[in-house]
Amino acid sequence: MVLRAKKPEVKQKRLKMFAYGKAGVGKTTACIQFPNAYIFDAEKGTENYAETILESNSVVHSTADFDTIVSEIKELATTKHPYKTIIIDPVTQVYGSVKEKWTNRFLKYAKDEKTRDLQDWGPGYWGKIKSEWKAFWRLLLMVDMNVVITAHEKPEYAEGGQMVKIGTTFDSDRSDEYPFDYLFQIVKKGKEKNSPRIALNKKERTPLGTIGFPDEFEWSYENFCKYYGKEIIEMEVKPIELASEEQVLKLNKLIEIIKVDGDIIEKWLGKAGVSTFPEMQSVDILKCINYLEEKMQVITGVKK
């Protein structure tokens, strides 16, 4: 047996963080401090900050529609542009859009009126939502840009159905914090209008070569540059190339001809960090195609 482990590469990871806070704490004001940002405004929270956004060379796309946002992020991932940071404010509305999308589809194909009224579609319904939502996070982590996600705040209750409040958490899918290196709660220190916003560090995975964030610090772009590294946050964005339709068709055809085992396919997808071939980067799917073409040569004895 050949050992496959390799020495890890030291990489400079873009800042990928999830932040939440209660209504009125200033989540929008906080996140638009990042310059050169592409802002997805899901509830028109940026309407009063046009001057600030213009000064920071940022732009706004006012939408909460899930499919629209995915299409735009794919464009940001694969083309050259001046933006350094993707901001989604708040993701709570976008998650609602995914659920609405699949609710409408299940309503359309509901077997009877009772099923439509109850809207109780079980694990099939939630499976579709979770699958698409996970693919969304994978896309955001793949793009060579900083990512700042905000969410509303909601009460957090102890498990067991006793409705005992134990604190606060974010108002979206409970697993949304897992893909991100950092989770912050935004609070205001003081009741005055100009009181500083404070970031409470709830979780972090600090890359090598960075300082790491304190347990509590004033939310400012300068502090993010200080604790994470300005050269990383502001480094040049490099477009990635996703798998083309032709590559996906070619790979699927080869898989069908050679009868590739499902475990091998799952291994390819897992290594690429995706769940479907269209999510793969072009360089990764090309490796799979080359591997199968070489296998075809061995089977047929005919060189391509």
- Average pLDDT taken over every residue of the chain: 88
Q: Which pLDDT value is given to residue 301?
A: 67
268-304 pLDDT, tens digit per residue, is 988 887 888 998 999 999 999 999 999 888 777 655 5
- Rounded to the nearest 5 percent, the helix, strand and coil shares of the chain are 40, 20, 40
| Backbone phi and psi for residue 233, each to the nearest 5 degrees, phi listed first | -65, -35
- d(Cα 176, Cα 169) in Å, to the nearest integer? 11
How confident is residue 104, by pLDDT bands cut at 50, 70 and 90? Answer: confident
CA 185 from chain centre, in angstroms, equals 18
Q: Which residue has the higher pLDDT, 158 or 65?
A: 65
Q: Determine how β-strand 182-188 pairs with β-strand 59-62.
A: unpaired
Q: What type of residue sits at position 140? A: L
pLDDT at 108: 81
Measured between alpha carbons, how far is 268 from 288 in angstroms, rounded to an integer? Answer: 8
3-state class of 142 per DSSP?
helix
Give the model's confidence band at 3: pLDDT under 50 very low, under 70 low, under 90 confident, else very high.
low
- Note the maximum CA span of the chain: 78
- CA atoms of 47 and 89, how far apart (whole Å): 12
How far is CA 285 from each of CA 136, 184, 278, 290, rounded to the nearest angstrom? Answer: 19, 35, 9, 9
> Which domains does the chain possess?
16-233 (3.40.50), 245-300 (no CATH)
pLDDT average, residue stretch 127-132: 89
| Residue in this structure with the two tokens 């920071």, named with its chain if needed | 56
Question: Cα–Cα distance between 182 and 133 in angstroms, integer?
Answer: 19
CB-CB contact of 14 with 205 (8 Å): no
d(CA 135, CA 275): 7
Q: Please say if the pLDDT value at position 253 is more than 60.
A: yes
H helices of 143-261, in order, are 221-224, 230-233, 245-258
Confidence at residue 9, expressed as pLDDT on a 0 to 100 scale? 64
